[in-house]
Amino acid sequence: MASRWANDEVDKAEELRRKREKEEKKRLKLQKQQEAEEAARPAKRRRLSTGDENDQVPQTQEQESERKLLRFDGGSWGPCRHTSNFETLNHIEEGSYGWVSRAREVSTSEVVALKKVKMDYNQDGFPITALREISILQKARHINIVDLKEILSGDDPQECVLVMEFLEHDLKTLQEDMSEPFMASEVKTLLRQLVGAVGFLHDNYIMHRDLKTSNILLNNRGQLKLADFGMARYIPPSNAPLTQLVVTLWYRAPELLLGTTTYGTEVDMWSIGCIFAELLAKEPVLQGKNEVDELSLIFSLCGLPSEKSWPGFYRLPNAKSLKMPRDHRNAPGFNRAKFPFLTAAGVDLLFSLLSLNPEHRPTSKEVLGHSYFKEQPKPKPSEMFPTFPSKAGQERRRKKSPHAPKRGEAPGLKNVDFSSIFATREAEEKGAGFQLKMA
């Protein structure tokens, strides 16, 4: 029963006012929350104009102060350029794994070297030698290593051409045309650049495995660059079997000739020793006709191996078939008479590089720190090097030399007699008298 003093209209009005105040408080509270969330959000991106002035939105202060992100070109996939972008000028040489030509880029007139990859084993897929060469040249960026610019494709889907920088000379052809060998200061400059490039490869766990003078290029500014990485590969784990069919015969280490399948960077250091001797003599010093003849020349120059000088020599696969002299313990050692103008420090360096025992050969860092480079005459600055007419520009090589070994089975050695290897050593040691030569 309602009270007689109750006023229903007044009560209803009061209740409605309180309800409106409560709703107004909720609305204000929600509005504050929304404003706080908008203030915490990042500034909106600028709206791109569509060309209509009416659609342009005025820029706010927050949009003007938006930071710009740094963007770096990470590379992208794209098709190779065609060989038609280059004009072939002349053929330079054919090697075991490709043809090398001199060419000019049509758009820039830059002269480059083109190496067309041989597809002799295309049934096995793309040649592994070309894959290794491309992979290593892309990573081996050094002042004394030839620069790989790009890869070209031809009309044939199997055609692959490498574009590399062109250098005017290679050491082999250059020495054939020189009337006199390089001077001592020039030999030191060339050898130091070569060892620096090989040391860079070894520091990055890469073996070249085909060092020779025809693979060493030289420009008219006295800068040497190492080329032809067709037989190069990364150094595998220890005791991993490797092929012995590496390195051109005249520059092949004795352990490879004796059939070892476990070797390392020492085979490159032996090749450097052969190149060092060739720079001094102006011709290869170990020009063997085959593996047996090559071993005979090595032993006549460096002496015969023994269990003391080379432990484990007789355990090599091909060493059991060798017949050594009975008194080989007293056999002469390194034949210094081959290099009459070389100093004592130079003989010491050459003897260590041509050590029969791979463990006795120095590393590239040890070679660069040798006293041979510190004595007079000092290495000649590359800017002072003489210039020569380029044979790679028009002419082919005139003298033939052995190519790098190809895939297949390695030849073995059977019943080889080295008993009379030092028969003519006494006549060699007499020499040709005393001579003077400008350094």
What's the rounded mean pLDDT across residues 354-382?
A: 94
**pLDDT band for position 436 (cuts 50, 70, 90):** very low
pLDDT at 432: 47
How many CB atoms within 10 Å of residue 271? 25
CA nearest to 305, candidates 324, 320, 321, 288: 324
Angle (CA) 129 134 136, round 5° = 95
What's the rounded mean pLDDT across residues 199-228?
A: 94
What's the rounded mean pLDDT across residues 175-179?
A: 89
210 catalytically annotated: yes
pLDDT above 90 as % of the chain: 47
Instruction: Please report, for residues 286, 337, 340, the alpha-carbon distance to residue 433 in angstroms, rounded to integers and kept in the order given.
Output: 24, 11, 10
**pLDDT band for position 336 (cuts 50, 70, 90):** confident
**pLDDT band for position 349 (cuts 50, 70, 90):** very high
pLDDT in tens, 254-273: 999 999 989 999 999 999 99
Q: What is the mean pLDDT of the chain?
A: 83
* Residue keyed to tokens 């030509």: 101
Q: Both tokens of residue 280?
A: 């001094």
Omega before 332 cis (within 30°)? Answer: no
Output the DSSP codes for 58-113: PPPHHHHTPPPPP--------PPEEGGGEEEEEEEEE-SSEEEEEEEETTT--EEE
What's the rounded mean pLDDT across residues 66-93?
A: 82
pLDDT at 193: 96
Assess if CATH 1.10.510.10 describes domain 169-429.
Answer: yes
pLDDT at 213: 95
* Least reliable range by pLDDT among 50-59, 169-178, 291-300, 379-388: 50-59
pLDDT in tens, 373-409: 999 999 999 888 888 877 666 544 445 567 667 655 5
> Cα(217)–Cα(225) distance, rounded to whole angstroms?
5
pLDDT in tens, 125-152: 888 888 999 999 999 999 999 999 999 9
Assess if CATH 3.30.300.30 describes domain 89-103+111-165.
Answer: no
pLDDT at 294: 94
Answer whether residue 244 shows pLDDT above 50.
yes
- Spatial neighbors of 320 by CB under 8 A, at least 6 apart, are 314
**pLDDT band for position 433 (cuts 50, 70, 90):** very low
As annotated, the residues of the chain forming the CATH 3.30.200.20 domain(s) are 89-103+111-165
> Cα(88)–Cα(166) distance, rounded to whole angstroms?
13
pLDDT in tens, 406-425: 655 566 666 666 555 555 55
pLDDT at 255: 94
Output the DSSP codes for 274-304: HHHHHHHHSS-S---SSHHHHHHHHHHHH--
As annotated, the residues of the chain forming the CATH 1.10.510.10 domain(s) are 169-429
Candidate list 210, 228, 268, 293, residue with the active-site label:
210
- Spatial neighbors of 296 by CB under 8 A, at least 6 apart, are 288, 418, 421
**pLDDT band for position 350 (cuts 50, 70, 90):** very high
**pLDDT band for position 318 (cuts 50, 70, 90):** confident
Answer whether residue 428 shows pLDDT above 60.
no
